[in-house]
Amino acid sequence: MTEEPILRQEIEALKRRKDAVILAHNYQVEEVQLAADFLGDSLELSRRAASLHQGVIVFAGVKFMAETAKILSPDKKVLLPRLDAGCPMADMITVDDLRGLKARHPEAAVVTYVNSSVEIKAESDVCCTSANAAQVVRAVPATEIIFIPDRNLGSYVQRLVPEKKLHLFEGYCYVHDRIKREEIETARARHPQAKVIVHPEVRPEVIDLADEVLSTSGMLRYAQGSSAREFIVATEHGLLQRMMRENPGKAFIPAGAAKVCSNMKRTSLLDVRDSLRDDKYVIQIDPAVAARAGRALREMLRYG
Ligand code: 13P
Ligand code: SF4
DSSP 109: E
Q: How far apart are CA 67 and CA 56, in angstroms?
A: 14
How far apart are the CA of 200 and the centre of ligand 1, in A? 9
Flag the least confident range among 36-40, 50-54, 220-224, 276-280.
50-54
CA atoms within 13 A on the CB side of 11: 26
How far apart are the CA of 2 and the centre of ligand 1, in A? 31
Instruction: Give 100's contacts (C-beta < 8 A, 6+ positions apart).
Output: none
Q: Which of 272, 275, 296 is nearest to 117 (CA)?
A: 296
Beta-strand runs (E) in 107-194: 109-113, 126-128, 144-148, 165-168
pLDDT digit string (tens) for 205-262?
999 999 999 999 999 999 999 999 999 999 999 999 999 999 999 999 999 999 999 9
Domains plus CATH for the chain? 4-85+264-284 (3.40.50.10800), 89-172+289-303 (3.40.50.10800), 179-254 (3.40.50.10800)
19: left (phi over 0), alpha (psi -120 to 50) or beta: left
Instruction: Give 250's contacts (C-beta < 8 A, 6+ positions apart).
Output: 223, 228, 229, 230, 231, 243
How far apart are the CA of 300 and the centre of ligand 1, in A? 16
What type of residue sits at position 75? D
pLDDT digit string (tens) for 94-105?
999 999 999 999
Counting from 1 in the atom list of ligand 1, the atom nearest the Cα of 200 is: 3
pTM, full prediction:
0.97
How far apart are the CA of 17 and the centre of ligand 2, in A? 33
Q: How far apart are CA 146 and CA 175, in angstroms?
A: 24
CB 170 within 8 A of CB 151: yes
Q: How far apart are CA 196 and CA 137, in angstroms?
A: 25
Burial classification of residue 86, based on how many CB atoms lie within 10 Å of its CB (0-12 exposed, 13-18 middle, 19 or more buried):
middle
Average pLDDT in the chain? 97
CB 77 within 8 A of CB 55: yes
Q: Is the CB of 115 under 6 A from ligand 1?
A: yes
Compute CA distances 73 → 52, 122, 190, 212, 303, whole Å.
Answer: 8, 16, 47, 33, 19
pLDDT at 1 (0 to 100): 60
Please list, residue by residue across 68-80, b when 16 or more beta carbons sit within 10 angstroms of its beta carbon and e when fewer do.
bbbbbbeebbbbb
Counting from 1 in the atom list of ligand 2, the atom nearest the Cα of 173 is: 2
DSSP string, 219-246: HHHHHHH-S-SEEEEESBHHHHHHHHHH
Q: Whose CA is nearest to atom 1 of ligand 2?
A: 87
Top mutation candidate among 92, 216, 235 for ligand 1, by most atoms within 8 Å of CB: 216
Q: Is the CB of 112 under 6 A from ligand 1?
A: no
